[in-house]
Amino acid sequence: MGLVPTSALLRNSACPRVLQTVRQVRTFFPELDGIGIKVGLTRRAAGLAGREEPAIWINPYRLTRHTIAHELVHLLQFRKLLPLGERSADLYALARHRVLVDDSPWYLKVPRSMTTATGPLSAKVPGLLHDLACEALRRREAGLRTYLQWFEFELDRRWRLVRTLSIRPAAPKQGGLFDA
């Protein structure tokens, strides 16, 4: 069982790119091994997931690994393997693997300055989102029911800290006795 493209996807020039990206992301979801997943196109949203049958619809113009991971999380939710909800799907997608964090979540609150970060600061975003999502899920397993709110609050706090440390100029190096 693998990916089953819809006829509309097969006719679209983005078909090879969409299927390749979905295949790559699917490798991070072993719970879906042996299950055929229909893959189609949508223009209404970045992605959609089917509740009745294992199916996802992807917008080829907004194709990101995070979107695909989010939709695959929905398939796990529909099988009652994960808690339901859009915010929960975002968090579980972020926590799945760092390489899947190539876009900001759509449903969780993310500091605006994080979504517009550039240069070396932007390179810190995927790791922070992934690590914090993993920590939020560990807290959920330990009994914290407000793990989504905790994630949003802690993300804002830690991002401010990252920005402060990145903006702060390096201390001037003091010359030593033997410096030339």
Domains delineated in the chain: 1-83 (3.30.2010), 109-168 (no CATH)
Q: Which tens digit of pLDDT belongs to each residue from 28-60? A: 999 999 999 999 999 989 999 998 999 999 999
Print burial letters for 47-71: b (CB count within 10 Å at least 16), e (below 16). bebbeeebbbbbbbeebbbbbbbbb
CA-nearest of 83, 61, 60 to 73 is 83
Give me the mean pLDDT over the 1-24 stretch: 94
Output the six-digit token pair for 144: 């914290």
Q: Cα(first)–Cα(last) distance of the chain, in Å?
A: 68
- The model scores a pTM over 0.85: yes
Give me the mean pLDDT over the 129-153 stretch: 98
Helices marked H in 38-124: 65-78, 86-96, 112-115, 119-122
Give me the mean pLDDT over the 97-125 stretch: 93
pLDDT at 167: 73
Task: Categorize the per-residue pLDDT at 180 as very low, low, confident or very high, splitting at 50, 70 and 90.
Answer: low
| Measured CA distances, 149 to 96, 109, 153, 161 (Å) | 19, 9, 6, 19
φ, ψ at 106 (rounded to 5°) = -90, -30
More confident residue, 176 or 52: 52
pLDDT at 34: 92
pLDDT at 95: 98
For the cut 70, the answer to whether the pLDDT of residue 173 exceeds it is: no
